[in-house]
Structure 1
Amino acid sequence: MVNAKHVLVVNAGSSSLKLSVLGPDGTARCRADLRVPDFIPPAAVGEFVRGAGPIDAVGHRVVHGGDVFPGPVRVSPETVAGIASLTPLAPLHQGRALAAIDAVREALPTTPAVACFDTAFHRSLPAEAATYALPRAWRDRWHLRRYGFHGLSHAYAAGRAAGLTGLDPASVRVVTCHLGAGASLCAVRGGVSVDTTMGFTPTEGLVMATRPGDVDAGLVVRLLREGVGLDDLDDALEHRSGLAALAGHGGDMRAIREAADRGDEAARAARRMYAYRIRTHVAAMAAAMGGLDVLVFTGGVGEHDSGVRAAATEHLGFLGVAVAPDANEEAHADADITAPGAAVRSLVVTAREDVEVAAETRRLLAP
């Protein structure tokens, strides 16, 4: 067991590697955000580690734990093999996580390391939320279920919301909106995930930067019958759909917002659709909990796009949601944007997956 005072948090994305060393209070002693689209260079990781000061433990964010990892685990050869076995479920991310594990292990060969999984937070989904209405033989053979993603972000945001509002963490009902290039909502009741918008893969749910979100399964079958190749279909659903298909600009919401401000109708329509999907899914998440106490916006778009927040909450008055226009426009880190008299608190919370990874790492390694 280890008293992990200083934790190196490693977050390997599809084109970046984020490194931070966190102290017990969540303060980052140092950070690096490396743009590494092709491979993760061990030399760059080693250079960061050498300049980072004492490191007691390492926490790795891993996107998919499947049925193999219901919670954080010590990194071992068996852990690495288990993560690798799940590569078909998250091909863009599992290999990157494994490369990061190798690079950090080269720099810190004797430092204990923990793998923390985005899917683990959603292992609590009840059967009615997690089960696809597909033949049981298929579900059993291929482990078909709704796994959910962004769990580390949702867990942190829900906990932070309880702290900011002073509501009872054991009973508060929170809908967390993680809005970035990938986007998902989560219904969190008493700190437990009870529903979420992503499913077997991160493609389900909201409109995202390059993913379509909810699509009729029959439509996909029709495209295959019309001769669209499997690889082309897979690439389109992952890289050429969503905001990129609706408005262009590679799905970058900042560029789309600027285009909308210039009068680009396709950009305006894309933003309306984006907000509409958020709004309707917020209502669904609230229904899963029998009500709503706090609505949280986090992630790059959630934290920085006041127009999306305004449009996404515009017709949620029946749930008790209303945001104050001035507070919404001026929102900064961990801000309350609730309109006076609104029954539901609305917050903007800075995404801190690194804090959640560090906390899980410390808990697992605690003496």
Structure 2
Amino acid sequence: MSVNYEGIALVLNCGSSSVKYQVVDTTKDEPLASGIVERVTDHALAIGEVIETLSQPGSGVDLADLTVVGHRVVQGGDEFSAPTLIDDAVERAIAKLSVLAPLHNPGHVAGISAARAAFPQLPHVAVFDTAFHQTLPEAAYTYALDLQVAREHGIRKYGFHGTSHGYVSREVASLMGRDPKDINVITLHLGNGASADAVQAGHAVDTSMGLTPLDGLVMGSRTGTIDPAVVFHLHRAAGMSIDEIDTLFNKQSGMLGLTGYSDLRDVHKAIADGSHEARLALDIYTRRIKSYVGQYLALMGSVDVIVFTAGVGENDDIVRLESMQGLEGLGIVIDPARNEGRKKQSTLISTDDSPVQIWVVPTNEEHEIAVQSVAAVSA
């Protein structure tokens, strides 16, 4: 969505125990204010703390200038494919979708309810992580599971990080001087949570995350793709409960489970100190990225550009280099010198003669939520 509307949005990302916020003027690149309230037990009190902070002299914000409150919501299910004005019915629908995102949607709902009470005079808009992936073809989002069971329980691929994937895929098209409709893009959102997208003609046609954010790439503490029968084996052979396996897969696995570290900076240090486990873990991590790049190139038939974004994608040159090395036969040629170092600005890191361009594009999900929220109330 291009910036056709101007306004100032309070962007809220409410989790179960934290409230992250930014105040964004859609005409400016940098937020007017930002912060986080942690150890939240009462979202109404947390929103009150946000208001108190923003009301202080020198905050850079006049609350009277706010146009809209934009809310990040992880799971929109089949119901929400675009930014949506929140009323009581929408709030109830988001709460109902908690069955598909029990770690995320309940916190979103608590934050939405508290914010609507605190700012009753303002429109509130929900921007869904899953919305960008509503364009996936049926063959991409349907699992080979009994159809009646799948339909009854809403089991399908939803995909996540959609706000980020949408933002960087459009941003890189602009950087290349191309129309998003004319290029094929592979976006790699690599952070503590990580996902890959295939974006064809401006629309997502596949994504690595599935029913939940557990599937796909190796992550900080999540397994990524794993044989589902591991669940049965751990239950039968190790006597583990479903909740214990859920915790193992989501919070005790990935790089943390392989190395003891969820932060890749610690993994790199361990490799430098000679750790075989850390070296193996990084090989697993980058091998998985390569496999998705190859899969999506085959799926789309051709790729014009690959984009790295998010905390690891923007800052870890070793991950970028090792993820792209060996793909020269596919027309993907990274330039080690251009790639070196952290990238705070959009940077081309492929060679001049690489048929497929490789970019690092810093994501800006909060700004994108602000833009979409302002547009939703201005249209």
Q: Where on the TM-score scale, by shorter chain, does this alignment land: which range?
A: over 0.9
User: Aligned pair 1:334/2:336, yes or no?
Assistant: no
What's 1:5 paired with?
7
What's 1:18 paired with?
20
User: Aligned pair 1:320/2:331, yes or no?
Assistant: yes
User: Aligned pair 1:277/2:288, yes or no?
Assistant: yes
Residues 128-277 of structure 1 mapped to structure 2, 5 A cutoff: 128-226=139-237, 227-249=239-261, 251-277=262-288
For residues 173-218 of structure 1, give each alpha carbon's deviation from its aligned partner in whole angstroms, at most 9, with x where no partner exists.
0000000011000001111000000011111101101110111112
**1:229, distance to aligned residue in structure 2 (A):** 0.9
Residues 18-167 of structure 1 mapped to structure 2, 5 A cutoff: 18-34=20-36, 36-39=38-41, 40=43, 41-50=46-55, 51=59, 52-53=61-62, 54-167=65-178
Work out the CA distance in 2 between the residues paired with 1:15 and 1:259: 31
**1:11, distance to aligned residue in structure 2 (A):** 2.1
What's 1:287 paired with?
298
Work out the CA distance in 2 between the residues paired with 1:351 and 1:215: 28
RMSD (CA atoms):
1.6
Counterpart residue identity of residue 98, structure 2: T
Q: TM-score, normalised by structure 2?
A: 0.92
User: Aligned pair 1:349/2:361, yes or no?
Assistant: yes
Task: Give the unaligned 5+ runs of structure 2.
Answer: none
Residues 28 and 103 of structure 1: CA distance in aligned 2, closer, same or farther (over 3 Å): farther
Work out the CA distance in 2 between the residues paired with 1:294 and 1:14: 36
Counterpart residue identity of residue 55, structure 1: L
Work out the CA distance in 1 between the residues paired with 2:232 and 2:351: 45
Residues 32 and 93 of structure 1: CA distance in aligned 2, closer, same or farther (over 3 Å): same
Counterpart residue identity of residue 47, structure 2: P
SS state at 1:61 partner: strand
For residues 51-76 of structure 1, give each alpha carbon's deviation from its aligned partner in whole angstroms, at most 9, with x where no partner exists.
42121111111000012222211111
SS state at 1:339 partner: coil
Residues 29 and 218 of structure 1: CA distance in aligned 2, closer, same or farther (over 3 Å): closer
What's 2:374 paired with?
362
> Which is further off, 131-140 or 103-112?
103-112
Work out the CA distance in 1 between the residues paired with 2:137 and 2:31: 39
**1:365, distance to aligned residue in structure 2 (A):** 1.1
User: Aligned pair 1:311/2:322, yes or no?
Assistant: yes
Work out the CA distance in 2 between the residues paired with 1:100 and 1:150: 20
Work out the CA distance in 2 between the residues paired with 1:356 and 1:246: 34
**1:240, distance to aligned residue in structure 2 (A):** 0.7
Contact 1:49–1:107 (Cα < 8 Å) also in 2: no
**1:341, distance to aligned residue in structure 2 (A):** 0.9
For residues 132-187 of structure 1, give each alpha carbon's deviation from its aligned partner in whole angstroms, at most 9, with x where no partner exists.
00011111110111000000000001001101111221121000000001100000
**1:14, distance to aligned residue in structure 2 (A):** 6.0
Work out the CA distance in 2 between the residues paired with 1:243 and 1:13: 23
Work out the CA distance in 2 between the residues paired with 1:154 and 1:96: 23
SS state at 1:28 partner: coil
**1:45, distance to aligned residue in structure 2 (A):** 1.6
Work out the CA distance in 1 between the residues paired with 2:49 and 2:337: 43
Task: Give the unaligned 5+ runs of structure 1.
Answer: none
For residues 237-293 of structure 1, give each alpha carbon's deviation from its aligned partner in whole angstroms, at most 9, with x where no partner exists.
1111111100112x1222222222222221121111101100111111222211110
Work out the CA distance in 1 between the residues paired with 2:188 and 2:142: 22
**1:4, distance to aligned residue in structure 2 (A):** 5.5
SS state at 1:170 partner: helix
**1:35, distance to aligned residue in structure 2 (A):** 5.0
Q: Taking every aligned residue pair, what percent have the same amino acid on both sides?
A: 38
Q: Say how many residue pairs are matched.
A: 364
Work out the CA distance in 1 between the residues paired with 2:319 and 2:244: 31
Contact 2:26–2:367 (Cα < 8 Å) also in 1: no
Work out the CA distance in 1 between the residues paired with 2:255 and 2:234: 20
> Which is further off, 84-93 or 253-262?
253-262
**1:13, distance to aligned residue in structure 2 (A):** 4.6
Q: TM-score, normalised by structure 1?
A: 0.95
For residues 324-366 of structure 1, give each alpha carbon's deviation from its aligned partner in whole angstroms, at most 9, with x where no partner exists.
1111113432111111310111111111111221222122111
Contact 1:196–1:285 (Cα < 8 Å) also in 2: no
Contact 2:75–2:105 (Cα < 8 Å) also in 1: yes
SS state at 1:86 partner: helix
> Which is further off, 39-48 or 156-165?
39-48
Work out the CA distance in 1 between the residues paired with 2:370 and 2:68: 9
**1:90, distance to aligned residue in structure 2 (A):** 1.3
SS state at 1:204 partner: coil
Residues 272 and 33 of structure 1: CA distance in aligned 2, closer, same or farther (over 3 Å): farther
Contact 2:13–2:21 (Cα < 8 Å) also in 1: yes
What's 1:298 paired with?
309
